[in-house]
């Protein structure tokens, strides 16, 4: 299997690079995506380039189909068919000549169009067609502003993904990460496909530990701009910054409660690193853990009952849990040289972590009911695991050629992707919630 993947890799790279350079030429695209692996049973699907034209827009209608195709391909669950050889380009279901698509062995077909409306609006419509049964599986119309075209394509991809796999999609979501370039640190957010990167904050001092608020409107992060780590919460829409915690010593490791009203944070204002809870407006500070060891990297269970964290109270760092209203901590992990950075899957059944095996740091996934652990990554300095909103994919930081890069792996370990930025050093990824 691995040999086959290695053989396929240059081909995949070529296809994807060709695809992306065609699809998104003018964008100041940052993250490049490389995919390996895939599901054994991929659904063959054809996405016809969207018809119609957009008056006064440099972006073409065709990019919508390209974005949808790229999203589906990246999931590893679809085989997106080449449509270049097909002469007829239907933009609605009544124009579909089924024999042509059956000949391509397409099981599903996506057709659609983009039209200009009055008042600088666009109408995007699509139909998902079952080629064998010759019926419509899904169809939607969107009335959008021109700058919502890319996200609308991701939403369409989510509808298709959900219809054909039965699971929620993740394409209409965003990721946050830190890019270090030429001595400058920028916290960026990009679409889940790595495109459309936008800077949230930039500084010539380090920024680490970005954390999305559950509603996706704010990001908490740690900035060293005042010669020490301080936690800020910044609104994405307005840029307004709240200093969440600026106590004596370190202020770090922000983690939102599932309802977004509180954050678990780590302070050293007493002495050693300890976990505290603070309201999202910066009031009501309470100490949660009480030890003479390092307690850090808190994260909430999805039911908000527990805070999991890493601690060296037993010697080497391991993962512990404590009730979110306080109490005695209990040890959770026992294997490996050490375990760090716990993160829950959205359904609360899996715990991702960074496992240290003899100095090699890798992403591991523990089934909380069976206790079974699976190693998901093979780097030596992998960090910062973060679940996609549907729990199917984990994003994490890795190193390639001495530089930071982002990687993603499906939670079953089968599909791997690498996202890298030319000339940059990318780290600290965090996957945001689905956008409505």
Partner 1 sequence: MNKGMFNKKLIGSLMLAVLLSACKSTPMVDKPAGVEDKSPSSSSVAQADGSADTSGVKEVVIDSNANNSNNPLNDPNNILSKRNIYFDFDSDAVKAEFRPLIEAHAKYLVANNNAKLILQGNTDERGTREYNLSLGQRRSVAVKKSFNLLGVQDKQIETVSFGEEKVTPNCADENCHQANRRVDIAYANE
Minimum CB distance to partner 1, residue 386 (Å)? 13
Closest-CA residue to 341 (of 232, 209, 224, 245): 209
Instruction: Kindly state the smallest distance separating residue 174's Cβ from partner 1, in Å.
Output: 7
CB nearer to partner 1: pick between 29 and 388: 29
CB of residue 234 to partner 1, shortest distance in Å: 7
| CA proximity to 90, closest of 38, 127, 145, 64 | 127
Q: Which is nearer to partner 1, 68 or 128 (CB)?
A: 68
Which H/E stretch holds residue 183?
A: none
CB atoms within 10 A of CB 162: 14
Least distance from C-beta 151 to partner 1, angstroms? 5
Q: Based on CB atoms, which residue is closest to partner 1, 202 or 281?
A: 202
Tell me whether residue 259 is exposed, middle or buried, using C-beta atoms within 10 angstroms of its C-beta: 0 to 12, 13 to 18, 19 or more: exposed
Q: Are 35 and 78 in contact (CB under 8 A)?
A: no
CB of 206 to partner 1, least distance (A): 4
101 or 221: whose CB is closer to partner 1? 221
**Is the Cβ–Cβ distance between 47 and 83 less than 8 Å?**
yes
Beta carbons of 251 and 267 less than 8 angstroms apart: yes
Least distance to partner 1 from the beta carbon of 204, Å?
5
Nearest to 391 by CA among 436, 418, 351, 333: 351
Complex with partner 1: residue 100 or 191, whichever CB lies closer: 191
CA distance 429 to 310: 19
CA dihedral 277, 280, 284, 285 (to 10 degrees): 40
With respect to partner 1, which residue has the nearer C-beta, 88 or 287?
287
- Least distance between partner 1 and beta carbon 369 (Å): 26
User: Per the structure block, which two tokens stand in for 132?
Assistant: 């064998």
CB of 128 to partner 1, least distance (A): 23
Strand partners, 310: 296, 319
In the complex with partner 1, which residue's Cβ is closer, 140 or 435? 435
CA angle 128, 131, 134 (to 5 degrees): 90
How does DSSP assign 45-90, residue by residue? Answer: EEEPPPBS--TT-SS-THHHHHHHHHHHHHTTSEEEPP-TT-S---
Residue 121, Cβ density class (10 Å: 0-12 exposed, 13-18 middle, ≥19 buried): middle
Least CB distance from residue 388 to partner 1, whole Å? 18
CB closer to partner 1 out of 203 and 330? 203
Nearest to 121 by CA among 92, 153, 148: 148
For partner 1, the closer of residues 48 and 267 by Cβ is 267
Shortest reach from residue 230's CB to partner 1, in Å: 10
CB of 433 to partner 1, least distance (A): 13
- Closer residue to partner 1, CB minimum distance, 151 or 351: 151
Nearer to partner 1, 117 or 145 (CB): 145
H/E element, 136: strand 135-144
Q: Considering only CA atoms, which of 128, 22, 20 is closest in space to residue 74?
A: 20
């Amino acid at each position: 299997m691995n040999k086959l993947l290695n053989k396929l890799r240059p081909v995949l790279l070529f296809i994807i690079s060709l695809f992306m350079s065609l699809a998104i030429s003018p964008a100041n695209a940052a993250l490049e995506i490389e995919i390996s692996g895939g599901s054994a049973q991929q659904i063959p699907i054809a996405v016809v380039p969207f018809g119609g034209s957009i008056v006064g827009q440099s972006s073409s209608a065709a990019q919508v189909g390209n974005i949808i195709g790229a999203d589906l391909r990246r999931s590893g669950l679809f085989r997106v068919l080449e449509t270049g050889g097909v002469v007829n380009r239907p933009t609605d279901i009544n124009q579909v000549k089924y024999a042509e698509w059956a000949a391509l062995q397409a099981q599903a077909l996506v057709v659609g169009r983009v039209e200009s409306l009055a008042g600088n609006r666009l109408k995007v419509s699509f139909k998902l067609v079952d080629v064998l049964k010759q019926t419509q599986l899904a169809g939607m119309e969107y009335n959008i502003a021109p700058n919502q075209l890319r996200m609308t394509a991701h939403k369409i991809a989510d509808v298709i993904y959900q219809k054909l796999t039965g699971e929620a999609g993740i394409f209409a979501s965003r990721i946050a990460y830190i890019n270090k370039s030429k001595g400058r640190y920028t916290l960026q957010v990009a679409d889940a496909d790595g495109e459309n990167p936008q800077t949230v904050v930039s500084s010539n001092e380090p920024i680490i530990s970005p954390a999305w608020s559950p509603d996706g409107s704010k990001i908490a992060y740690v900035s060293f701009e005042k010669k020490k780590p301080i936690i800020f919460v910044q609104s994405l829409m307005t840029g307004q910054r709240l200093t969440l915690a600026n106590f004596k010593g370190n202020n770090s490791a922000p983690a939102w409660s599932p309802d977004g009203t509180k954050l678990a944070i780590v302070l050293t204002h007493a002495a050693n690193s300890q976990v505290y809870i603070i309201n999202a407006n910066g009031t009501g500070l309470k100490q949660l853990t009480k030890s003479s060891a390092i307690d850090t990297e808190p994260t909430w269970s999805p039911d908000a009952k527990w805070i999991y964290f890493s601690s060296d109270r037993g010697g080497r760092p391991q993962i512990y849990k404590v009730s979110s209203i306080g109490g005695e901590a209990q040890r959770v992990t026992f294997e490996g040289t050490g375990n760090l950075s716990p993160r829950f899957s959205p359904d609360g059944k899996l715990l991702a972590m960074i496992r240290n095996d003899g100095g090699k740091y890798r992403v591991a996934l523990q089934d909380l009911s069976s206790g079974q652990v699976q190693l998901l990554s093979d780097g030596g300095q992998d960090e910062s695991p973060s679940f996609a909103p549907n729990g199917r994919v984990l994003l994490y930081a890795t190193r390639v050629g001495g530089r930071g890069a982002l990687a993603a792996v499906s939670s079953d370990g089968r599909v791997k992707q690498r996202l890298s930025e030319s000339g940059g050093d990318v780290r600290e990824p965090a996957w945001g919630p689905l956008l409505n």
